[in-house]
C-alpha cells in the first residue's frame, strides 16, 4: 500500500506529535525572544561611537551569518565538550539558534533604528531625557513598529528552522517523526503528519502576527489623534 489512512490518523491523533509540536513552539519562542534582545543590543552597539565595539559587532555578525547553522550546532554539541563546556541537547540547540538569529535580527533592528528621524532623538534630548529614556520611550517603540513585520517572518521561519535540532536528538517534530518512521515503517504518513503540525503552527502564528500589527497600528493612530488634538498657542 502506498498510503495507509489508519497509520496517518493514528499518528495525527497521538500525544507524541502534540508534545513534539509543543517542543518546537517553545524552543522557537525562547530563541526569538532572546534574539530580539540580542539583536537590538548588537544594533545599538553597532551605532556606538567606540570604533572597536563597532568592529567587534561587525565580526560577530559576519561569523554567525557567514557559516552554516548546521555546522554551528555540531560545533556547540560535539565540539564544546572537548574543551570542557557541556551544554546538553537543549542548551546547545537553543543557545546556538539564539546566537545565530541575533546576528540576523541585528541587521534588521539596525535598519529599523536608522529609519527613525534624528529629530525624534533631538526633541527628546531637549526635554531632558537621558539616553536610556530616549531609547525606551521614544526610539524603541517607533523602531519596533517597523521591526514587527520582519520579525514575524523571522519567527515563522524559526518554527521550521528548529527542525535542524533533530541532528542533535532534540525531541521536536522532525526528530519524533524519524522515531515513528522507524517504528511504523510508513515514512509518507508520518512526515505528512509532521507537515500538518508545521502548517498549524505557522497558521497560528500568522493570526498572532496580524493581531500584533493591528494593535501597534491602532496605538500609533491613537497617538497621532492625541497630538492632533493638542491646542496650539496663538502666534505659533
Residue (of 43, 36, 81) closest to 60 by Cα position:
43
Look-up of cell digits 515503517: 185
Helix (H, G, I), strand (E, B) or coil at 234: coil
pLDDT of residue 125: 74
Q: Which residue has the higher pLDDT, 2 or 192?
A: 192
Residue 174 has pLDDT above 80, yes or no: yes
Average pLDDT over residues 42-58: 91
pLDDT tens, position by position, 135-169: 777 888 888 888 888 889 999 999 999 999 999 99
CB neighbours (10 Å) of residue 201? Answer: 20
Assigned CATH topology for domain 5-226: MetI-like fold (1.10.3720)
Instruction: Go through the chain and tell me how many residues it has.
Output: 236
| pLDDT at position 218 | 60
Q: Does the pLDDT of residue 209 top 50, yes or no?
A: yes
Average pLDDT value for residue range 35-40 = 94
pLDDT in tens, 128-138: 777 777 777 78
CA-to-CA distance for 31 and 207, rounded, in angstroms? 20
Instruction: Report the predicted TM-score, pTM, of the whole model to 2 decimal places.
Output: 0.84
CA distance 143 to 131: 16
Hey, how many other C-beta atoms are within 10 angstroms of the C-beta on 186? Answer: 19
What is the average per-residue pLDDT within 43-57? 91
Helix (H, G, I), strand (E, B) or coil at 104: helix
Residue with grid cell 567587534, as numbered in its chain: 56
Q: Calculate Rg over the CA atoms of the chain.
A: 23
Q: Can you tell me which residue has the cell 540547540?
A: 93
Q: What is the pLDDT of residues 216-232, one digit of tens each?
A: 776 554 444 433 443 44
CA-CA distance, 69 to 31, in Å (whole number)? 14
Q: Where are the domains of the chain?
A: 5-226
Average pLDDT over residues 78-101: 94
pLDDT at 63: 96
Amino acid at each position: 500500500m502506498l498510503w495507509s489512512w489508519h497509520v496517518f490518523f493514528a499518528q495525527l491523533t497521538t500525544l507524541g506529535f502534540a508534545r513534539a509540536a509543543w517542543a518546537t513552539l517553545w524552543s522557537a519562542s525562547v530563541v526569538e525572544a532572546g534574539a530580539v534582545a540580542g539583536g537590538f543590543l548588537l544594533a545599538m552597539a553597532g551605532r556606538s561611537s567606540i570604533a572597536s565595539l563597532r568592529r567587534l559587532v561587525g565580526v560577530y555578525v559576519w561569523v554567525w551569518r557567514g557559516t552554516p547553522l548546521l555546522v554551528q550546532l555540531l560545533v556547540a554539541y560535539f565540539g564544546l565538550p572537548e574543551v570542557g563546556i557541556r551544554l546538553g541537547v537543549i542548551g546547545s540547540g537553543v543557545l546556538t539558534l539564539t546566537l545565530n538569529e541575533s546576528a540576523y535580527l541585528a541587521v534588521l533592528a539596525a535598519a529599523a533604528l536608522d529609519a527613525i528621524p534624528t529629530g525624534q532623538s533631538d526633541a527628546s534630548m531637549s526635554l531632558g531625557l537621558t539616553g536610556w529614556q530616549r531609547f525606551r520611550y521614544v526610539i524603541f517603540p517607533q523602531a519596533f513598529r517597523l521591526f514587527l513585520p520582519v520579525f514575524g517572518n523571522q519567527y515563522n521561519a524559526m518554527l521550521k528552522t528548529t527542525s535542524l535540532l533533530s541532528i542533535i536528538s532534540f525531541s521536536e517534530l522532525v526528530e519524533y517523526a524519524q522515531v515513528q518512521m522507524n517504528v511504523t515503517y510508513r515514512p509518507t504518513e508520518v512526515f505528512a503528519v509532521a507537515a500538518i503540525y508545521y502548517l498549524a503552527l505557522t497558521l497560528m502564528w500568522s493570526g498572532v502576527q496580524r493581531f500584533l500589527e493591528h494593535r501597534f497600528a491602532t496605538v500609533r493612530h491613537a497617538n497621532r489623534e492625541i497630538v492632533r488634538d493638542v491646542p496650539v498657542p496663538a502666534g505659533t
